[in-house]
């Protein structure tokens, strides 16, 4: 992963990117791109949805992907930080899985290059799903006979129940989790009645004060980059304000925890701004409870600006226009459990 | 609740009920009866499904009805006993929610008269959902503005967001959780090819050895009784065998914990036998891992019989014919979370 932070940071602070002239407003695609070695198929999506909802791949049999990424709501868990096996608390706010296919790296610190890679993390995280290793996860999977026909349908006959194929299936399902046709999307496609006047004004403010320096592109998480190449930004960039201690914004070193480079301290992947009304509380800390406050915090810490109340309200109204259409989904049917699976 | 245990216990032990001559094999109804004050409507079912899946009515925001009653599988949680908030362990195996509408009392000890009453238990159980009281649960519900239109649709305009209405909605949803058209159901309706020869033979053994003394009726949980009148049986009836200590069958006093009557010691509601292949492990303890062993344990503890292997295999084959059709369900869409809902 080659970080491109330096040039962009400089540009952002100087205000070169994200001026009203430069911004190109883009709608969310209705289909996510898939890697060449994992084209999205109906059979993979079906299997991936089963795996996503199945709690039997956690040590206690109680935690699934769905536990912290509630696709019946905002794709997160509405908690400051998540709860894993044995009631343990995670360290960061769960990012939404909705539109995660439009991130070029995964996790807040970008430590996974792809959705496939990401899916292999939580099962073996001792705080999250708590399995001893991926082999143990695979053993659980193979001990449920009802999964075999679904793997064969998705990946062909023979011994296709592997960690790599399970990861591919989960990623394929996640690539279907897209929320198109928000008022914003319809507006930029030409339906000028799709947003209110306040939202249109808020959109202009959002751009003119500099939010679009980082939050640009179809998913409002920065430029479209190749898979594995992250778009990171320092947060807080301006640390000389009361928000930093109030919301514990510097207690976590961010990307530095992965790279162990001092220059990566407090660098974070720029998150999407879509469906924010469903994903409170906010920030990697989950310490900021409302969108109003999140806008104030970001303006101060990233742009060194104190916004007027009308500016805040306009931007929040605009952010509300980024809530899209959640596709109707059927529940998966999970295969029967052998009695000795969970001790 | 007027227990009818004495007469039935005597009858069961004497073998008066459940002889091959007496048994009337009944198919599962496709619609569950509803109480006069809570007729099932689409609007209640829709709201009830939302509430059933919503984890925000637990103290941590992590536990919903669905957590322990996984309707994507067998309606339980495939664990010996369940896990609630803060990783706490419950004391009994989670009963399936599938076909629970055909139980005349709820919980293993029958302490709730109806599905409506049952639904008010887990939210305030300190081990399960851990809310301080139902008022606190109601406060959470009222703090999510998106629920209001669904309550109005189900219960009319005005202040209809109440604990009673929430309970009615959850119960209405649960009354739709029925698994008809199992091979057994099709067989008793006249399709003699619906069960295998082994299953038919197992059905005869199931009756002739005496299982039908208790496990009779359309849901194999005893006679159809008025709501609130339980069908309880002593388990173990014959305690002089190694299973009792091996599977801890007498560590829990059962219904006596509710009534505080010594005569109710080790009395339990007779559970359904439908969809057993999805609900391992078995018994109120969750200590018996396979259906084979469960059949042996029940024959010994309730009928004082040591079954031959062929009898066990036949009965297990028959029990497999009790797995019905799980209706396809769409996922509910849950309303957005105010940022300060979960601290």
Q: What is the pLDDT of residues A178-203, one digit of tens each?
A: 999 999 999 999 999 999 999 999 99
Q: Which residues of A195-214 are buried (b: 16+ CB within 10 A; e: fewer)?
A: beebbbbbbebbbebbbbbb
Residue B14's pLDDT is what?
41
Question: Which tens digits make up the pLDDT trace of A276-318?
Answer: 999 999 999 999 999 999 999 999 999 999 999 999 999 999 9
State how far the Cα of B26 lies from the Cα of B218, in Å rounded to an integer. 5
Composition of chain B by helix, strand, coil, percent to 5: 40, 5, 55
Catalytic annotation present for A325 = no
The end-to-end CA distance of chain A, in Å, is 40
**Residue A126 Cα distances to A88, A109, A132, A133, A257, angstroms:** 9, 18, 8, 10, 17
CB contact under 8 A, A334 and B53: no
Residue B330 to residue A334, Cβ atoms within 8 A? no
pLDDT: is A297 or A16 the higher one?
A297
Distance of CA A321 to the CA centre of its chain: 18
Q: Would the CB atoms of B73 and A340 count as touching at under 8 Å?
A: no
B contacts of A67 (beta carbons < 8 Å):
62
Q: Determine the pLDDT at residue B7.
A: 42
The CATH 1.10.760.10 domain(s) of chain B lie at 5-29+179-320, 42-174
Answer whether residue A168 shows pLDDT above 90. yes
Q: What is the pLDDT of residues A67-104, one digit of tens each?
A: 999 999 999 999 999 999 999 999 999 999 999 999 99
Fold for domain A5-29+180-320? Cytochrome Bc1 Complex; Chain D, domain 2 (1.10.760)
CATH class belonging to B42-174:
mainly alpha
Domain with CATH 1.10.760.10 in chain A: 5-29+180-320, 42-174
* pLDDT band of A342, cuts 50, 70, 90: confident
Section A10-20 average pLDDT: 43
Choose, from B46, B116, B128, B311, the residue flagged as catalytic.
B128
Give the CA distances from residue A26 to residues A48, A181, A196, A222, A228, in Å, rounded to whole numbers and listed in that order.
29, 12, 18, 11, 22
DSSP E strands in chain B: the ranges are 232-234, 267-269
Torsion of CA A192, A197, A200, A206, to 10 degrees: -170
In DSSP terms, which residues pair with B24 in a beta bridge?
none
How many residue contacts between A and B have a Cβ separation below 8 Å? 117
Residue-averaged pLDDT of chain A: 94
Across the interface, of A74, A328, A339, the residue whose CB is closest to B281 is A339
Q: Which residues of A touch B282 (CB under 8 A)?
A: 339
pLDDT of residue B22: 64
pLDDT of residue A20: 45
Concatenated DSSP letters of A193-224: TSS-HHHHHHHHHHHHTTGGGTS-TTTTSSS-
Q: Low-confidence residues of chain B, pLDDT below 50?
A: 1-20
Q: For residue A332, which residues of chain B lie inside 8 Å, CB to CB?
A: 72
Annotated active-site residue in A46, A116, A128, A311: A128
Give the per-residue pLDDT at A21: 54
A52: nearest CA in chain B? B72
> What angle (nearest 5°) sits at the alpha carbon of residue B257, between those of residues B251 and B260?
125
Optimal mutation site among A79, A86, A128, interface B, most CBs of chain B within 10 A: A79
The dihedral region occupied by B259, where left means phi > 0, alpha psi between -120 and 50, and beta the remainder, is alpha
User: Do residue B282 and residue A71 have CB atoms under 8 angstroms apart?
Assistant: no
Cα–Cα nearest to B72, from B39, B40, B49: B49
The reply to whether residue A282 touches residue B83, judged by beta carbons under 8 angstroms, is no
Contact A282 B339 (CB under 8 A): yes
For B5-29+179-320, CATH gives 1.10.760.10
| Confidence at residue A251, expressed as pLDDT on a 0 to 100 scale | 97
């Amino acid at each position: 992963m080659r970080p491109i932070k330096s040039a962009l940071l400089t540009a952002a602070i100087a205000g070169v990117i994200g001026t009203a002239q430069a911004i190109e407003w883009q709608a969310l695609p209705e289909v996510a791109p898939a890697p060449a070695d994992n084209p999205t198929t109906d059979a993979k999506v079906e299997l991936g949805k089963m795996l996503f909802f199945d709690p039997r791949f956690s040590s206690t049999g109680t935690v699934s992907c769905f536990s912290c990424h509630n696709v019946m709501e905002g794709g997160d868990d509405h908690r400051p930080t998540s709860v894993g096996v044995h009631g343990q608390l995670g360290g960061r706010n769960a990012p939404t899985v909705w539109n995660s296919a439009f991130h070029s790296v995964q996790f807040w610190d970008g430590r996974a290059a792809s959705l496939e890679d990401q899916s292999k993390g939580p099962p073996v995280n001792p705080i999250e799903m708590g399995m001893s290793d991926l082999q143990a996860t695979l053993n659980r999977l193979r001990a449920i006979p009802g999964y075999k026909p679904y793997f064969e349908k998705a990946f062909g006959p023979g011994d296709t129940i592997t960690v790599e194929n399970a990861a591919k299936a989960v990623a394929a399902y996640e690539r279907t989790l897209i929320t198109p046709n928000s008022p914003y999307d319809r507006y930029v496609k030409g339906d000028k009645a799709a947003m209110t006047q306040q939202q249109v004004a808020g959109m202009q403010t959002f751009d003119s004060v500099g939010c679009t320096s980082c939050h640009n592109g179809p998913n409002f998480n920065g430029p479209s980059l190749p898979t594995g190449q992250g778009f990171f930004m320092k947060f807080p960039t301006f640390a000389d304000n009361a928000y930093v201690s109030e919301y514990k914004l510097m207690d976590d070193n961010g990307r530095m925890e992965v790279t162990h480079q001092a220059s990566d301290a407090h660098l974070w992947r720029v998150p999407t701004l879509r469906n924010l009304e469903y994903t409170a509380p906010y920030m990697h800390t989950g310490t900021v409870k409302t969108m109003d406050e999140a806008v104030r915090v970001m303006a101060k810490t990233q742009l060194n600006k104190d916004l007027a109340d009308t500016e805040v309200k306009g931007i929040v109204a605009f952010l509300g226009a980024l809530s899209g259409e959640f596709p109707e989904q059927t529940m998966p049917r999970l295969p029967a459990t052998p009695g000795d699976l969970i001790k």
